[in-house]
Chains A and B, each alone.
Chain A
Amino acid sequence: MVNALYIVVVALAAAFLLGFVNPLRRGVAYAITLAALALMSWISAGWVWAFAFNHATTVDFLTGGAPPPFAINFRMGLPEATLTLLVSLTGLLSALYLKDVLFKLGHRAMAVLLVAVMALSGIILTRDLFNMFVFFELAIISTAGLMLLSDDARALAAGFKYLIISQMLSIFFLVGIIFAYHATGTLNIDGLAAASLGLKAGGAIAFFFLFIAVVAELKPFPANGWALDLYESAHPAFSAIFSAATSSAVIYAVDKLLLIGGAEWLPMATGIGIITFLAANLFALPQTNDRRLLGYSSIAQTGLILVVLGQRDILGDSVLFIAGGLLLSHAIAKAGLYWISGLIEGRELPDWAVLRSRPLLIFAFVTFIAMLSGLPPFPSFYAKWEMVHILAGEGRIALLALILIGLLIEAGYLFRWFGYIMKREGSAQAVNCSPFQYAPVLATALGAWALAYVWGELSSQYFSRDNLLLAIPLLFALVFLSLEWMSAWAKNTLAIAGLTLFFYLTYLEYDPLHMIFAIIFMIGGAVIFLASYHVHGRRIGFYPSAMLMFAGLVLLIRATDTFSFFAAWELLTVGSYFLILRGKHSEPHALSYIIFSLGGAFLILAGFALAAQGAPQFNIAALAELTQPLAPWVFLLLAIGFMTKTAAIGLHIWLPGAHGEAETDVSPMVSGILLKAGLFGLIVLLMTMGKQQLYGVELTYVMLWIGALSALLGNLMAIFQEDAKRLLAYSSIGQMGYALFGLALMNHLGWLMALLFVINHYIYKSMLFLSAGGVAKRTGTRDMYRMGGLITLMPLSFIATLIGIIAVSGVPPLSGFGGRWIFYNAILSSEYRLPMVVIFLAGPIAFLYLFRLIHTIFLGQLKDEHRKLKEAPFWIILPQMIYVALLLIVAVAPGIVLRRVDAYLNQIFPEGGLGWAGTEITSNYGYWNPVSIMIIVAVIFGTLFAWLLFVNRKAQKVKQFNIVFAAERPYRPETTHFAWNFFAPYRKALGFLVQPFATRFWEAVTNILHTAGDLSRRLYNGNGQSYAFHLIGFVVIAYLMRMGV
């Protein structure tokens, strides 16, 4: 292996050499710079390779031929190798990116760049305190130099502020060094650690100065205004270095210092870290300037890593895995994002909408924000999982909660930004992209995926968890990324084939319970995909997102341990978010969806972590073995997490917009299929953990109430909707309430009802959404009162809706009745009475919105502008007809599905199953014969119909306006179609129940966060003196806290 000293030597030599190059021959100078950076990267890469594959051990390189403390030594271990590689690569890619600027500024700028990279590498490598100080000084000076790369006039001021602060820090550092040397007689880091600096006279104060000087370089809150000004005004390539490389180097310096300080300084690091993490994320919320936002995010991320370093007492050997995962994710993502920001003219976040013209850049952007948000399969995801588990295992719950809150806020503003990109009007300017600027971004994005693979491998090696990137469903979804050039038709066929094939290959592995979900997720998904054939063109972005969601769903039912379950959960969340975002007006709704979903996911994560109690592997089945006092808390966290997905009341506000505004074929996917993931989670939870009591309150009883209220309020809100798809969306809230209620009954029939609901809801809600979507496609509106009388023009859609509403309402003879019948039998065997009242009230209300749906769209008066409409496209109709057939089959022979599930449920609830004698189904209380019902109803109906035909055979079809209307003919269908505010009396009587309390509550939460974030404008006023004051304040407070005066 090459001596690590050469990293420094190469940079110095090259910088020196640049001085001899003819200033006019910039190409040569540039080539030298690139070559030097490449060489440095190569040296580090060689070391990384050696550590990874050749089992190399950590090596010390001596300078001056003497061992420490007589001379300085450099150390090359795995962290050093990785970090120096990161620093050099950032330098190299930035140099490529900066080609034009460097050519303009000439060889001096290149030399400064080289010195900066060299200094940062030096900080990482050196084991000598004074040497570190020197490298810090070099880094500061070169940083100030690099600031001048920017065209922004504010950069000069920012650089000056930076120098003020840095000089103060240098003084601290130097004073610390003096005291430390005085106390121990050595400046070697390992020597200082061995000498227990803190215990020596004056040692604590010495270390305080050292520590504060280095930590302050990490821009802790509140002493970080200078850094934000820097990020905002500097050249993005510089910011990339500053954020990715400088932060990494300084973090490592802090890590080395903590070695000296020992365990007692860890709480300090944690405290500074978590406050910085939270404050920076909060302040990032109201930012509109992209680079400043990224600056806040950088600060937050380094704060988080500082927390990790501060927790090294409990993180143990995992600290490298966690800190490394977070740090590399941060570095890669931030460098990439800053580079992208350089390609865009405007500085406001919505200006990034120009990226839409470059799908590859969108891909890169998504990769980066997924990395920052800790989504699978990126390293930060593995790190997050590991960290949360250890924190929960050690009982550091408060810290855990704060971290998760910070992560949620961060994900919030990152995904909001992504929403802007996909949905806002872009400025006319195209993305500026020379290949030199384009390439580093893409290379980084690819690097991110490579790193995801590496972390997955590490995770499977050390913690024997699955490498997510090796999961077939996920790979299949990712393949679609490379198929974007194909036609939508081909991709659709592939998607359907993939889902059915995977089902075919695995269907033997599922028990009846999982089988229901497997069929709905895979076969059900394939049926909905039939509707996607109606879209022509390439439909870029649709298939990777949809398949990502399906991959998550498939992995979810196949998961046996909490890790794979959670990973699948996040995958399906992200995939469905991208899907929902595709709707024309769904930007705010997709955002609220992802925030609620991630919030729910974090609760699930916390629940799993609490349950595992530090165990590296935790099977879902082991949830059953948890005991008091832990079990109810785990139950609570998981239940709320899953109920976020089923949109239980209070957590429901994301659903109507998300489902209503989604594309025609996406609505049934997210409603008919995705909601079932939440129910699946609840089923798994209740099956393993059963009834839990918290402070004497039975939690399943609370769930019973939540289910009942969701059913009531969901239905109630549905009847007041004018928008057909929103009506259906609210109806889903109600329907999920019923299912939740059934599960919470915790008896045999309750579960059977919930599972029947799972099947029925998939069928009829998918069908109704497709039908409403098809109509909306033809009429160009989703407002029902703008339609009317479409029955003759769209008869098939009408039939689908008719069958759908009969099934939803539970009227015999269709399959919904089976659900109602089981429901009544289930509540009879339950000891709870009061929640039933609420759910009784909810029942008939369903008729109101269902009638409104079919009446205002298909019946009543046809509008003039709709007279020439055609039936919905064939491909949208086809799945609806399949569903009609399915509903009829389930109606006549519910035993096909129910019987096996009933038998399976006997394992869980042996009491109270159903009896199956011939076609009759019996319970402890009653009986029901679906075949007889169907025949009797058909015979009665047929006879009467025949009678009417006989007596009324000469009926003439009259024209639209031929009605008894006080001798007038109402030629204006708009005024004759009674549709708008259809249930006005109901609003008068019960409207007070549907006041948007939940919406207002969540709005208030958001507003409070934004207002708190706005404080930053007062704090960071751009004045260098204020910033110096912040720094001093920070030092004083830190001193008081630490020294306990």
Chain B
Amino acid sequence: MPFDWMKIPYALLTLFIVVNYGFLLNALIQKIGARAGRRYGIPIWQNYVDMIKNYGLRSSITHGAMFYLGPVFRLSGGVGLLLFVPTIYGSYMFSNLSFAGDLILALYFIFFGTLGMALGAGESGHPHAAIGVSRGLAQVSTAELPFALAVFAVALQYQTLSVTEIVAAQQGGILNWTLFTNPLAVAAAMLGFLGSMMRPPFDVVIAPQEIPIGPPTEYHSSYLALMQTNRAIFPIAKIVIYMNLFFGGASDWPTFFFKVFLIYLWSAFVGVVFPRFRVEQSIRWFLIWAVPLGILSIVLV
């Protein structure tokens, strides 16, 4: 797929849609979680309010160059991840910048933001930031494993690493979805999915409710705004990969919104039911429950 300049405005359009959808969806899921806990929850436009507030804050400090660049890395990671994968199947307009690389590029690019963010947080010198990173890295190393195995199984199944071709192979009916042709891989991947959504039982990394812990501890104002933008983009970008690999992709925006919502809901659903794991518990949990499924899917494919 050759490059052409029109791709840039198209990609920006995708980005625009996804950011807005992400803001709303994050709030919606938050709200659903709150209702499940018999609370009222935040207004649906809360994320926009937060953005305006964060950009409007006048106090602004920095702990050094890496600290300053941390959110930039983070958001670049999210945007890049989104744009390296085609959003809408069969649409030239929303194939984004996927000519640069295949599935492997997307998978490894996830770490770009994580790593840069962790470095930025590290330079703040706050121990809570480092603790959060330590927990996050430790947890993600096993949480990603079932997903990686599932991806491998899917690539083996379809004999390709190109996302577009994988989606293409699932067209023609719901029974052609990987969900049904390779249920073990999907099961493994969906368990792994829980680990990367920062919801219970795997949310000890940022422990959002109680103390200011986790990588964002020292970030505020426009830094936080950037990171919040990423929080809108990143889960969706990730879900797009899941959707493309396992759930037949989306050939128009309504399908896209629906599928993304359902996949996202899965993490919220589990999150409201189960209490939080400590890091070593989640590591064991992934190794015991999710990884064997992934191994089976590879062996049986």
Number of cross-chain contacts by CB at 8 Å: 236
Judging by beta carbons under 8 Å apart, are B102 and A926 in contact? yes
| Alpha-carbon distance between A802 and B66 when the two chains are bound, in angstroms | 11
Kindly list chain B residues whose C-beta atoms are within 8 Å of the C-beta of A810. 108
Number of interface residues of B (CB under 8 A): 83
Contact call B109/A811, Cβ cutoff below 8 A: yes
Cβ–Cβ contact B283 & A990, under 8 A: yes
Q: Is the CB of B101 within 8 A of A792?
A: no
Contact segment of A598-606, A698-706, A927-935, A995-1003: A927-935
Given known A-B contacts A940-B80, A978-B127, A985-B280, A929 and B101 have beta carbons under 8 A apart = yes
- Over the window 256-281 of chain B, the binary record of Cβ atoms lying under 8 Å from chain A Cβ atoms (1 yes, 0 no) is 00000000000000000000001111
**A847, A861, A957: which contacts B61 (Cβ < 8 A)?**
A957
Q: Quick one: which of A806, A860, A983, A990 contacts B125, CB cutoff 8 A? A: A860
Name the residue on B nearest A817 (C-beta). B108
Closest to A981 in B: B134
Contacts of A837 in B (CB 8 A): 149, 291, 294-295, 298
Stretch at the interface among B22-30, B69-77, B238-246: B69-77
**Does chain A have a CB within 8 A of B89?**
no
| CB pair A926 B118 closer than 8 Å | no
Output the least CB separation between A448 and chain B (Å). 55
Q: Is the CB of A948 within 8 A of B162?
A: no
CA distance A989 to B140 in the complex (A): 13
Give Cα A855–Cα B137 distance, bound, in whole angstroms.
13
* B60 contacts A851, C-beta separation under 8 Å: no
Are A844 and B103 in contact, with the CB atoms below 8 A? no
Contact A983 B134 (CB under 8 A): yes
Number of interface residues of A (CB under 8 A): 76
Q: Are A964 and B126 in contact (CB under 8 A)?
A: yes
Give A785 to B226 CA distance when docked, in angstroms.
31
Of the candidates A828, A851, A965, A978, the one whose C-beta lies within 8 Å of that of B118 is A851
**List of A residues within 8 angstroms of B218 by Cβ:** 963-964
Alpha-carbon distance between A554 and B119 when the two chains are bound, in angstroms? 40
Q: Does A951 contact B (CB under 8 A)?
A: yes
Residue of A nearest to B139 (CB): A985
Bound Cα distance A990, B222 (Å): 39
Interface string of B140-154 (1 = CB under 8 A from A): 111011001100100
CA distance A286 to B295 in the complex (A): 50
Cα–Cα, bound, A16→B103 (Å): 96
Contact assessment for B131 and A978 in the assembled complex, using a CB-CB cutoff below 8 Å: yes
Task: Identify which of residues 798-817 in chain A touch chain B, using a CB-to-CB cut-off of 8 Å.
Answer: 802, 805-806, 809-812, 817
CB of B221 within 8 A of CB of A952, answer: yes
Expressed in whole angstroms, the Cα–Cα distance for A985 and B72 within the complex equals 29
B104 touches A944 (CB 8 A): no
A855 B133 Cβ-Cβ under 8 A: yes
Task: Give every chain B residue within 8 A of A989 (Cβ-Cβ).
Answer: 138, 279-281, 283-284, 287
> Is A401 close to B, CB under 8 A?
no
Q: Determine if A821 and B83 form an interchain contact, defined as CB atoms under 8 angstroms apart.
A: no
Residues of B within 8 A of A940 (CB): 76, 79-80, 83
Bound-complex Cα distance A578 to B212 (A): 53
- Residue contact A948 to B145, C-beta cutoff 8 Å: no
The answer for the CA separation of A928 and B84 in the assembled complex, in Å, is 11
Q: Which residues of B are in contact with A by a Cβ distance under 8 Å?
A: 3, 55, 60-66, 68-69, 71-73, 75-76, 79-80, 83-84, 97, 99-105, 108-109, 111-112, 114-115, 118-119, 122-127, 130-131, 133-135, 137-138, 140-142, 144-145, 148-149, 152, 155-156, 159-162, 212, 217-218, 221-223, 225-226, 278-281, 283-284, 287, 291, 294-295, 298-299
> Would you list the 9 A-B pairs with minimal beta carbon distance, nearest first?
A926-B161, A859-B122, A926-B102, A985-B279, A978-B130, A844-B141, A989-B283, A989-B280, A932-B100
- 16 example contacts (A-B, Cβ-Cβ < 8 A) are as follows A792-B64, A828-B156, A834-B298, A834-B299, A859-B66, A861-B125, A926-B161, A933-B100, A944-B79, A948-B68, A956-B61, A963-B63, A963-B125, A978-B127, A983-B134, A990-B283
Q: What is the interface of chain A, defined by CB distance below 8 A to chain B?
A: 789, 791-792, 802, 805-806, 809-812, 817, 820-821, 824-825, 827-828, 833-834, 836-837, 840-841, 843-845, 847-848, 851, 854-855, 859-861, 923-929, 932-933, 936-937, 940-941, 944-945, 947-948, 951-952, 954-958, 960-965, 976-979, 982-986, 988-990
